[in-house]
Amino acid sequence: MDFALTEEQRLLRDTVREFARSEVAPVAGELDRTKSFPYELIARLGELGLMGIPYPEEYGGGGADTLSYALAIEELARVDSSVAITVAAHTSLGTMPIYLFGTREQKDRWLPELCSGAKLAAFGLTEPEAGSDAGNTRTTARLEDGEWVINGAKQFITNAGTRISGLVTITAVTGGEGERREISNIIVPNGTPGYEPGEPYRKMGWNASDTRPLSFSDCRVPEENLLGERGAGLRQFLQVLDGGRIGVAAMGVGLAQGALDEALAYARERRAFGQPIGKFQAIQAKLADLSAQLEAVRLLTYRAAAEKDAGQPFTTTAAQAKLLSGRLAVRACEEAVQIHGGYGYIEEYPVCRFYRDAKILTIGEGTDEIQQLVIARGLGL
């Protein structure tokens, strides 16, 4: 078992780390405060070839593996979760359905723009009545004169309403009734009449990312916008979610590391009773525990990525990594705020933003409770 990264993986990690420190960190607080989408940063990430890391070079992607992608997401989340989720939702959720299930024509049409970052892709599964119960999709699409006529709504969708958003892939009921309902995936380009991204949500965190509801009212797209086999939509999206959990787990690792970084720096500088607070055992114990738990979750996340790259079953491992990394991120941010004392409650310090950003990692991409169900199934229960 080799725990060493390849030279290419180290180079990618170090490139993203330097970008996050030099270009993201100086503006992250202001983007959060003003709730501004990071267009310039996304453009720079595209220029660096980081918006399509795991996709083939023939489409303009980086041709890298899943572990390389996880390393990049980890380094971005270490500094700012809004930028990290923008890249992660675009890469492992928005773009992946087209890569996995698209026709050659669909791939040629969309992947070059998506891999370059010129356009963003969104993933439309969640609805008012279909969150954790993903099979309860209410959005419908009926075939009429060679077009899908779509009616319904989606909610909590990332990357759908920016000025560079290119498409959303949605689940919709395309036939059948009751338990025999047929759910399919359909590509809906931005700007299609009848498709309206709603106003962005006011959120606790991830304030510089784009999250909003979507509505479809007699929205018409060509029949060939069906993605993959008709009726296979739910199975396809569950497959996409498995891979997406590796990216979200990497976000949890990165955010926990960022919180630990800030706490360590503060503990070395802040003095009380004549010495740095890092000299007190109470502070040392908190930091030591976080460090140990972080390394364990990091290895679990890397293992999920390695299993996926090796073509091995990774569903259970990805769910375990997502479950534990999200919980650790919340705890690490809470401890970092506690170590900062009153300053941790002030927006001037990054740990305040980190704390607000952390909670969604136990909810999005499948709640902790859904991860527990997935893991239980993997245990044969």
Q: What pLDDT is stored for residue 177 in this prediction? A: 79
Phi, psi of 335 (to 5 degrees): -65, -35
Cβ atoms of 226 and 250 within 8 Å: the answer is no
Residue spans of beta strands (DSSP E) within the chain = 120-124, 140-144, 147-158, 165-175, 182-189, 195-197, 211-222, 226-227, 271-272, 275-276
- Both tokens assigned to 216: 């479809």
Angstrom distance (rounded) from CA 35 to CA 136:
32
Q: What pLDDT is stored for residue 195 in this prediction? A: 98
Q: What pLDDT is stored for residue 133 in this prediction? A: 85
Element (H, E) at 188: strand 182-189
Instruction: Respond yes or no: is residue 365 known to be catalytic.
Output: yes
Angstrom distance (rounded) from CA 295 to CA 285:
16
Element (H, E) at 242: helix 233-269
Residue in 74, 75, 335, 365 annotated catalytic: 365
Q: Model pTM greater than 0.85?
A: yes
The bridge status of strand 195-197 relative to strand 211-222 is antiparallel
Cβ atoms of 160 and 214 within 8 Å: the answer is yes
* pLDDT, one tens digit for every residue, the chain (381 residues): 788 999 999 999 999 999 999 999 999 999 999 999 999 999 999 999 999 999 999 999 999 999 999 999 999 999 999 999 999 999 999 999 999 999 999 999 999 999 999 999 999 999 988 888 878 899 999 999 999 999 999 999 999 999 999 999 999 999 987 778 899 999 999 999 999 999 999 999 999 999 999 999 999 999 999 999 999 998 999 999 999 999 999 999 999 999 999 999 999 999 999 999 999 999 999 999 999 999 999 999 999 999 999 999 999 999 999 999 999 999 999 999 999 999 999 999 999 999 999 999 999 999 999 999 999 999 999
Number of other CB atoms surrounding residue 260 within 10 Å = 22
